[in-house]
Amino acid sequence: MGRAGIQSAEEALAIAQRAEKLPGVELVGLMGYGGHAAGQPDLEAIRKVGLEEGKHLTAAAALFRAAGFAVPELTVGGTPSGPPAATVPDR
pLDDT of 32: 87
For residues 54 and 47, give the distance between their C-alpha atoms in angstroms, rounded to a whole number.
Answer: 11
Q: How far is CA 20 from CA 7, 38, 85, 91, in A?
A: 20, 34, 28, 24
Helices (H), the chain: 9-19, 43-66, 82-85
Please give the model's pTM, rounded to 2 decimal places.
0.86
User: pLDDT by residue (tens digit) across 12-57?
Assistant: 999 999 999 999 999 999 998 878 888 889 999 999 999 999 999 9
Neighbours of 45 (CB within 10 A): 13
